Structure 1
Amino acid sequence: MFDPSDRPRLFSLPPGADFATELVRGLKDRTKDQPPEAMARVELFLNTRRMQRRVEAVFDQMGAGFLPRIRLITDLADPIERIRLPRPIPALRRQLELAELVGRLIDSDPSLAPRSAIYDLAQSLGALLDEMQAEGVTPKDIAALDVTDQSGHWERAQRFLNIVTQYFDPSNDLPDSAAVNRMALANRLNLWRDTPPDHPVIIAGSTGSRGTAFQLMTTAAQLPQGAVILPGFDTDLPEQVWDVLRSDVRNTEAMQGEDHPQFRFARLMEKLNLQPDAVRAWTMTPPPSPSRNALVSLALRPAPVTDQWLSDGPKLPSLDQATQSLTLLEAPSPRDEARAIAIRLRQAAEDGTTAALITPDRMLTRRVSAILDRWGILPDDSAGTPAQLSAPGRLLRHIAQLRVNGPTADALLTILKHPLCHTGADRGQHRLWTSELELFIRDKGVPYPDLEQLMSWKRADEAKNWLAWIDRCLLQPGLQGKQSLSDHVGQHVAQAEEICAGSASDDAAELWNKKAGETCRAQFEDLIENAGFGGAMSARDYAGLIDGILRSAEVRDRDAPHPHILIWGTIEARVMGADLVILGGLNEHSWPDVPPPDPWLNRRMRQQVGLLLPERRIGLSAHDFQQAIGAREVWLTRAERSEDAETVPSRWLNRLTNLMTGLPQTGGPQALQAMQDRGRSWLAFGQALETPIYAPQAPRPSPAPPVTARPDELSVTNIERLIRDPYAIYGSKVLRLRQLNPIQHAPNPMHRGTVIHRVFEKFVSDTVQNALPLTETHLIKVAQDILSSDVPWPTDRIQWRVRIEKIARWFVEAERARQSAARPVLFEKKGQMQVADPPFTVSAKADRIDLNDRGEALVYDYKTGTAPTKDQQLQFDVQLLVTVALICEGGFSDFHPRGVADARYISFSGDGREVPAPLQDCPPEKTYAMLVKLIDAYRDPNMGFTARNRMHRDIFGSDYDQLSRFGEWDASDTAVRIPVT
């Protein structure tokens, strides 16, 4: 295939070239005059399985013929040699072994990391071991590092890394897969050196960023029939810049040029002692846009020679031609960016254009996929979906967390409403009961449900078997202590299958069906097989392990994706081709991404032993960018703002726009403006797509229902609400709507008030009925007993107890004074009276009523918040005044005092205080007359229930603000009467 040569063979394809197509075309051209079997003698090494499939597909498109022997760089052993090599231990086994070591490290020094990080640390440690194998770094190299001037953390990390030397021991009968690959590489390189193959050996598509790939490429290039084909080789880079890069290669201390896209090729040429002009073109096919490649090449020049922008920039051809198929879309938000991309992909699908979204931002790809789903377009996503986000993955993770925390209302309903829960018989009945049980839990406020509480549900007798199944599967307490991984897995799988089967079936097949179920099952089978290496662990550690395992597994849906709409990672961008390429998420921390923190070796230690530096990752991303931007039509997209902050454009996009802005003589600013205008037009399409049809804003409502539909009874609390927010009475009493309580009840002011009321009521009752002493000690004991039974939230229980302790002395001293003047006789007493004609019932519940020696009542109302002032009581907060009027009207049965001597609020806020009711300014008869006037006013059919009529503050919310469409109007708007029939 190749003519004899006295120097290594390096070939290249330019940025933007369809690598697979041009690779096959070059092979076909070089074997066209040879017998058909010549192609079968070619040994072709590619870097990814997806690339292999693409090359095979291109061969199929070019007609019948032999295929070359295609191998992957990561699988260097042939079938016969593989038998001789030791069998690698499973990756999961190694992770479990490393996790146990990391767990012991954290136990010995908890300041290093929380236990929840064990499996992430084990995964990062495994990645470090693989990298050491690939780069030929041994534990001896790590041990030889001088860390005397480093912090103690790195010294501990160095000592810990000495523990994992077993994976590098040549005598180890069970090496990991990276060690086996290293052995296979050594064997193949030795074989090639000892007996050079006489058939063509080609390494294609790799940049040589990894040590194993670099060694393979340098050796193959020097074989008699060997060659290396470089993707995205920059032929526009002048020799002076190559010299700068090669100088950086030789200067191993600085390594300043590693972030340049062509640095790896400079390193390869330096190793092979070749000049850039020795790198020949693999095919004569020109790139889609040579002028654009020249522009990008200049924009990405290394920092030391950026001054060449001034000298070489004006020599560029017209930038209008270079950028005529280039669109720059700078969206206000990630949502706008995703929407514009999805619209363009939809047009590509309708036109039959092959379009690819290339981005490392998985959140962006999910947004785009979700929008495409609206139009029934399923993109071909090279990354698939993480198993943890699939339906079975979510259920398995929910169950693992349930085993940690025990049942909460939220966790219980999350599992019961999962699509894979109760998939056996009677699923329809299960869904109905789940819906009704949810309303019960919301109404009763059951934060930590148990069977006893659920049996008070009205459907309990009818759903007895179903509730027993819930109790068996979902209401068991969280696991305490540790148990073996085998026990964890067995119990977890059994529980998941029983939950999936349901209460009336044993069939749990749905859990493991379809591609997602098969993927999750394979992970659990692997876990069961290697569980013996996991040791004992807590339920929390086990849940972390499951989350990590499912996160690392990918689900590729069997549904046929759209053949022309593709989503690629940056690796695929190096070797794949499309008519339209969209480079999405072009912001710093995305392109390039932030290198993950390395808890084991810092940058200096990595450089000293020869491991990959963060700059190399940036250089690879830069090469991906340069390769992808050379396509026929390209979009460059970014969001100007993320969810919480402004973003910074990618450094390469910044360089490109800055260069164009500074080249007015070649039309740079005008070309940049045209790129941005094209992007804005697509943003406008997206915004128009989601712009709602104009609807006039709602007025401030004052609905006027018929008198017969209006309430004929209200509590004193609702009387106050009728004054402040009549619309709330309309919503609750006329429409009979009420706010849906949250599933997971959290402590709120209402609940706090109820509990504290009970504390002081019980305390005062004990002192009167049981003659117990009026002491702080007894008050605090009562508080502890009631808080323990009524407050299931430990933190709030402590906070409320502290609050009671703070006012205990004040309350006891004040209570002694109160009881010296009168005797408590009624607690939480209900009463009612008839007002106006026809009769209207007003009801009240008095917190406490005392009786003095003269037979007069003293009324007290407990307030956990701030008590209302005198003016507020006269205008709005009439609760206590109405209660006094009700007593005077004989509204409390069997209680007829000679009058009311005093009424006051006892406020528990701050240090505690009493606020008297203004009985002198508003005696009972005046309050009664006010009630009659208020009730008669709302018996007028023309009187509407105005929304937020006299709210205490505008910032206060109402349960019915959404119903009244508050926000489309405000309190300054005039209310509009709306007749209701």
Structure 2
Amino acid sequence: MNPQSQICGVPPGLDFAEELVRGLRARMAGQPPEAMARVTLWVNSSGMRSRVRAQFTPPAILPKIRLVTDLAEAIPLPGLPPTEPPLRRRLQLTQLIAKLLDAEPDLAPRASLYALADSLAGLMDEMAGEGVSPEALAAIDVSDHSLHWARTQRFLSIIAPFFGPDASPQTETRRHMVAQQLAEFWAKNPPPGPQIIAGTTGSRGATALLIKAVLSFPGNILVMPGHDFDMPHALWDSLGDALTAEDHPQYRTRRLLDLLEATPDQIRPWTETLPPAPERNKLVSLALRPAPVTDQWLEEGRDLPDLRLAAEKLTLIEAPSPRAEALSVALILREAAETGRSATLVSQDRDLARQVSAVLDRWGIVPDDSSGRPLALSAPGRLLRMTAGLFGRQMTGDQLLGLLKHPLVASTEARGPHMMLTRTLELHLRRKGPAHPDAQFLRDWASAQNAPDWGMWLGAAFDGIEQAGETSLTEHLARHRRLTETLAGGHLAEGTGRLWEGAAGEGAEAALASLERESEHGGMLSPGDYTALFDGVIAAQQVRETILAHPLIRIKGSREARELPSDLLILGALNDGSWPRLPPPDPWLNRYMRVAAGLLLPERRIGLSAHDFQQAVAGAEVIITRATRGAEAETVPSRWLNRLVNLMQGLPDKHGPEALAGMRAKGRVWLEMARGLERPEAEVPRARRPAPVPPLAARPTTLPVTGIETLIRDPYAIYAREILRLRKLDPLRAEPDVRLRGTVLHRVMEVFAKRGGHKAETGGYANLMSAADEVLEAEVPWPAARALWRSRIARIADWFLAFEEAHAGEPVMLEKGGALLVPGTTFTLTARPDRIDRLDDGRVHIYDYKTGTPPSEKQQQYFNQQLLLQAMMAEDGGFPRLGPAQVAAATYVGLGSTPKASSVAVDSESLARAREGLKKLIESYSDPAQGYSARRAMQKQAFGSDYDQLSRFGEWDMTEEPERLPVDHLPRPEETP
């Protein structure tokens, strides 16, 4: 650094652009206007360049304003190679990492293929920017470290060709090259006029080289933002160790001073303007001291001013939930808009930003959000991600319907007919399946619906996607684009519909096109690898749509907020993990290896965030917000907020606890307003336990034997299903669940019995397993479930065959129905027994198969009377195929993991009790005053009913007396859904 050069700083809290121009004009005072044109001003972003230009009012001659991030525009430097597209480098690295994972599959899952390539490309760019060669990595001694780091070190040796003289540079690599050549050029040809670098602390290697080159000439100046003039000079020595000081806000300044061979006492104020809250700056400076020297709180705390002054325009909102935090922030922004004050929410938490924007939408306030929204969450982005995941696997019903309902599918005049067919298809898939609809199924189903064109369109789109295998990235992209555009065009029109329209559509097409341009570098990929790669590429894209935003209300990241002045700053989501964000895990180098190689530590990002926080919290009026609890657990306050609070609580002599209580009291005002925003104007009374009383004419006159238990335990379910005609929809995605397992097991037993049972010529075991294989193949499309369920059947086969040998007669009814008019009533009882055998003496044996444990004796006596009622029906002639038949036995056959048979008493006394009990139950519901009570006698309170939401269970409990509710209007048959 030249002795005649200067290092200046602007304290936190001031408008940097305004102070920069004010200081520049003060230094140019008395000189002719054209002298300003000889000044070259280097700033750190295009936003700051615009802000600086806006400060020159009235219009005047401007200095040359250039960006430190675009050094090549400063002066033509011959021989510089063009920058390699970042995507190309990542695709090349994807191929290398894929070979590594093939050789060592335990290193990482293949789904992380692109993420690993992205992080490795970032590491290589950082190495180039910091001047670290691959040889430096190879020289690190990792003998005392785990095998993982030794493996990654060996792998990193193959990236050496990317650093060769003929290799195409990445962005940071080329910037470093430009900075070096610019310094060499200036050494022979000094830059004309004063050079001023403003708004940076040289956190990047190339920027630090530029600063060093500029300050090597006399008269040049470095103006640093957010410089802490309140930190004692002696404390700067403690920032020398990166392992302990990297996360301090002033560490980057100390590192730059070491590079420039300068000392902290050489830094001078750029202007004489005082920050808006100097007392707060002193407080924050002391609070953010490096952890090993926080004992200085006790020593230097007594020198702080009255902390009530520091906290006078500082508010702390500690919300109980993220929603309450978002509501409070939105109310603050709304008030600012109404009073004509500029207000900015500064946060690195995009969830908070989206929630605040949603609340502001209530009042028609659209904030100026600098981050936009992720392309992956936009309509075209979601559609592209959905279609990318279809190849090489069976499509499920929910995947198909998710696609067909997407707003960009059939986004033409075909949308209306398409949605009508989609709704009908959904009902079919829910009720009948199949679990994995394919192209042929869609053609056949659409033809049955008199919509063959629709079926042909979908069939053509989905043909062959299940068989898609490993192929080149170029072919993956071609069929991905073809499928997506075909779906967007619809079945009545050609083209791509609205797929590529608007900012999101244009961004999605640009992302796809960038992949297509570089696809020759992507090599061969499996469908799974392609899906992971595409998701990784699109996840990094943002969409910024043109909107008419409110001129005073903004949502910014911590870096963007430094460039814009604001009357009010809201520092949102100040929790660890949000602000600061935790450094992402580095799969290639640990902290020791980084230090040994001369690379930056992960804490560098935390240090930069700390610097942003120190500048933001020094604003004229600041509101700090955080949620004390997230979706799943208590949150941890940001380390900076934690230090600030602890320091204030520990300084009672400076009225710290009183000042902190005042900050929280002001925050509680906004929290109470947020609660009031969602508090209903009048208290809504909770529902009582319902017992609807419908007219007798509407009550069911027919129920199956299984419905009798429901009528006893939960009459409300009978009311909802049989009277209101409400049915629970089957799941959207078919799964091998308990219900399907029961259906399959009953079907296996039916096929087994029809083929001769244990008496079959092939032998009982072979017959049983043959029946199992046939039914499982037809009914269960999941290989894992088929294998598991077959093994369960095989495990109980010996017990079941022994039971058959001892008890079975000749099957005369298998899964056939019957009905019986209950004597003395107009009520009909129906049943569909699993199996009825005729014994040698003419009597019958009734079986009921259970996939779990058979009901206990008490359950059979009071609730589960299914077999007893079937026996009653058999003796009273309820099964026409049998005629009146005496029942010798009725048995529950439990075919679970522990097979068990449970007999039911079917003597004349038991059957007489069953007849009398059934008649009494039916007659009770013939009383016009009898209601259908909700959850009358559930086996366990935890057991759910399909109609708990309809009965509003939860607002009442099972100890309440039911409230009889007369029902006047009931749906007519034509109203049945």
**TM-score in terms of structure 1 length:** 0.95
1:126 is matched by which residue type in structure 2? Answer: A
Q: Decide whether aligned partners of structure 1 residues 452 and 842 sit closer, same or farther in structure 2, where only a CA change above 3 A counts.
A: farther
Alpha carbons 1:479, 1:539 under 8 Å: kept: no
2:943 is matched by which residue type in structure 1? Answer: F
Residue matched to 2:389:
401
Residue matched to 1:887:
874
Alpha carbons 1:341, 1:368 under 8 Å: kept: yes
Residues 861-876 of structure 1 aligned to structure 2 (within 5 Å): 861-876=848-863
Q: Equivalent of 2:817, from 830, 854, 859?
A: 830
Would you say 1:102 and 2:97 are equivalent positions?
A: yes
How far off its partner does 1:7 sit?
3.2
Q: Equivalent of 2:138, from 130, 136, 143?
A: 143
Q: Equivalent of 2:225, from 231, 247, 269?
A: 231
How far off its partner does 1:649 sit?
1.5
Q: Decide whether aligned partners of structure 1 residues 28 and 429 sit closer, same or farther in structure 2, where only a CA change above 3 A counts.
A: farther
Secondary structure of 1:919's match?
coil
Q: Decide whether aligned partners of structure 1 residues 267 and 910 sit closer, same or farther in structure 2, where only a CA change above 3 A counts.
A: closer
Q: For 2:255 and 2:740, how far apart are their aligned partners in 1? A: 70
Would you say 1:283 and 2:271 are equivalent positions?
A: yes
Q: For 1:525 and 1:963, how far apart are their aligned partners in 2? A: 50
Q: Decide whether aligned partners of structure 1 residues 513 and 920 sit closer, same or farther in structure 2, where only a CA change above 3 A counts.
A: same
Would you say 1:750 and 2:744 are equivalent positions?
A: no
Secondary structure of 2:828's match?
strand
Identity %: 48
Residues 59-138 of structure 1 aligned to structure 2 (within 5 Å): 59=56, 62-78=57-73, 81=76, 84-138=79-133
| Residue-by-residue CA offset, 1:315-349 (whole Å, 9 max, x unaligned) | 22111111111011111222222221122122222
2:24 is matched by which residue type in structure 1? Answer: L
Residues 371-386 of structure 1 aligned to structure 2 (within 5 Å): 371-386=359-374
Alpha carbons 1:381, 1:567 under 8 Å: kept: yes
Secondary structure of 2:363's match?
coil
Residues 641-680 of structure 1 aligned to structure 2 (within 5 Å): 641-680=629-668
| Residue-by-residue CA offset, 1:915-956 (whole Å, 9 max, x unaligned) | 111223753343223222222211111111111112222211
Q: Decide whether aligned partners of structure 1 residues 924 and 459 sit closer, same or farther in structure 2, where only a CA change above 3 A counts.
A: farther
How far off its partner does 1:774 sit?
4.4
Residues 693-842 of structure 1 aligned to structure 2 (within 5 Å): 693-767=682-756, 771-819=760-808, 822-837=809-824, 839-842=826-829
Does 754-763 or 783-792 show the bigger shift? 783-792
| Residue-by-residue CA offset, 1:268-311 (whole Å, 9 max, x unaligned) | 33333444343222222211101100111111123343232222
Gaps of 5+ in 1: none
Secondary structure of 2:76's match?
helix
2:575 is matched by which residue type in structure 1? Answer: N
Q: For 1:492 and 1:966, how far apart are their aligned partners in 2? A: 47
Q: For 2:918 and 2:887, how far apart are their aligned partners in 1? A: 18
Q: For 2:635 and 2:194, how far apart are their aligned partners in 1? A: 49
Alpha carbons 1:823, 1:852 under 8 Å: kept: yes
Alpha carbons 1:766, 1:772 under 8 Å: kept: no
Alpha carbons 1:182, 1:212 under 8 Å: kept: yes
Residue matched to 1:6:
3
Secondary structure of 1:699's match?
coil
Q: For 2:543 and 2:878, how far apart are their aligned partners in 1? A: 70
1:204 is matched by which residue type in structure 2? Answer: A
1:76 is matched by which residue type in structure 2? Answer: L
Alpha carbons 2:77, 2:181 under 8 Å: kept: no
How far off its partner does 1:697 sit?
1.3
Q: Equivalent of 1:571, from 559, 562, 573?
A: 559
Secondary structure of 1:576's match?
coil
Residue matched to 1:313:
301
Q: For 1:45 and 1:621, how far apart are their aligned partners in 2? A: 22
Residues 256-405 of structure 1 aligned to structure 2 (within 5 Å): 256-405=244-393
Q: For 2:428 and 2:74, how far apart are their aligned partners in 1? A: 64
1:720 is matched by which residue type in structure 2? Answer: E
How far off its partner does 1:83 sit?
6.2
Residue matched to 2:53:
56
1:206 is matched by which residue type in structure 2? Answer: T
Alpha carbons 1:857, 1:897 under 8 Å: kept: no
Q: For 2:847 and 2:958, how far apart are their aligned partners in 1? A: 34
Q: Decide whether aligned partners of structure 1 residues 314 and 411 sit closer, same or farther in structure 2, where only a CA change above 3 A counts.
A: same
How far off its partner does 1:353 sit?
1.8
How far off its partner does 1:109 sit?
0.9
Secondary structure of 2:626's match?
strand
Q: Decide whether aligned partners of structure 1 residues 19 and 460 sit closer, same or farther in structure 2, where only a CA change above 3 A counts.
A: farther
How far off its partner does 1:79 sit?
7.2
How far off its partner does 1:958 sit?
0.8
Would you say 1:552 and 2:549 are equivalent positions?
A: no
Q: Decide whether aligned partners of structure 1 residues 37 and 230 sit closer, same or farther in structure 2, where only a CA change above 3 A counts.
A: same
How far off its partner does 1:408 sit?
1.0
1:154 is matched by which residue type in structure 2? Answer: W
Q: For 2:764 and 2:428, how far apart are their aligned partners in 1? A: 40
Q: For 1:188 and 1:85, how far apart are their aligned partners in 2? A: 11
Q: Decide whether aligned partners of structure 1 residues 596 and 664 sit closer, same or farther in structure 2, where only a CA change above 3 A counts.
A: same
| Residue-by-residue CA offset, 1:719-742 (whole Å, 9 max, x unaligned) | 221111111110011111111222
Q: For 2:518 and 2:262, how far apart are their aligned partners in 1? A: 49
| Residue-by-residue CA offset, 1:166-217 (whole Å, 9 max, x unaligned) | 2221233x33333322221111111222222231212111121222111212
Alpha carbons 2:836, 2:847 under 8 Å: kept: yes
Residue matched to 1:17:
14
Q: For 2:62 and 2:381, how far apart are their aligned partners in 1? A: 39
2:169 is matched by which residue type in structure 1? Answer: P
Q: Decide whether aligned partners of structure 1 residues 79 and 660 sit closer, same or farther in structure 2, where only a CA change above 3 A counts.
A: closer
How far off its partner does 1:768 sit?
5.5
1:236 is matched by which residue type in structure 2? Answer: D
Q: Decide whether aligned partners of structure 1 residues 948 and 922 sit closer, same or farther in structure 2, where only a CA change above 3 A counts.
A: farther
Q: Decide whether aligned partners of structure 1 residues 342 and 479 sit closer, same or farther in structure 2, where only a CA change above 3 A counts.
A: farther
Residue matched to 1:588:
576
Does 335-344 or 109-118 show the bigger shift? 335-344
Q: For 2:862 and 2:233, how far apart are their aligned partners in 1? A: 87
Residues 199-214 of structure 1 aligned to structure 2 (within 5 Å): 199-214=193-208
Would you say 1:908 and 2:895 are equivalent positions?
A: yes
Q: Equivalent of 1:956, from 943, 958, 963?
A: 943
Does 796-805 or 873-882 show the bigger shift? 796-805
Alpha carbons 2:130, 2:599 under 8 Å: kept: yes
Q: For 2:317 and 2:804, how far apart are their aligned partners in 1? A: 71
Secondary structure of 1:66's match?
coil
Q: For 2:465 and 2:2, how far apart are their aligned partners in 1? A: 74
Q: For 1:728 and 1:655, how far apart are their aligned partners in 2? A: 57
Q: Decide whether aligned partners of structure 1 residues 521 and 36 sit closer, same or farther in structure 2, where only a CA change above 3 A counts.
A: farther
Would you say 1:686 and 2:681 are equivalent positions?
A: no
2:131 is matched by which residue type in structure 1? Answer: G
| Residue-by-residue CA offset, 1:863-920 (whole Å, 9 max, x unaligned) | 1122112222221111111111111121111322541111111111232111111223
Gaps of 5+ in 2: 969-977
Q: For 2:660 and 2:447, how far apart are their aligned partners in 1? A: 68
Alpha carbons 1:167, 1:179 under 8 Å: kept: no
Q: For 2:673 and 2:886, how far apart are their aligned partners in 1? A: 74
Q: Decide whether aligned partners of structure 1 residues 741 and 39 sit closer, same or farther in structure 2, where only a CA change above 3 A counts.
A: farther
Residues 502-513 of structure 1 aligned to structure 2 (within 5 Å): 502-513=490-501
How far off its partner does 1:8 sit?
2.5
Q: Decide whether aligned partners of structure 1 residues 211 and 888 sit closer, same or farther in structure 2, where only a CA change above 3 A counts.
A: same
Q: For 1:893 and 1:126, how far apart are their aligned partners in 2? A: 77
How far off its partner does 1:673 sit?
0.3
Q: For 1:445 and 1:30, how far apart are their aligned partners in 2? A: 79
| Residue-by-residue CA offset, 1:578-629 (whole Å, 9 max, x unaligned) | 2211112222222322211111111111111210012333222221111110
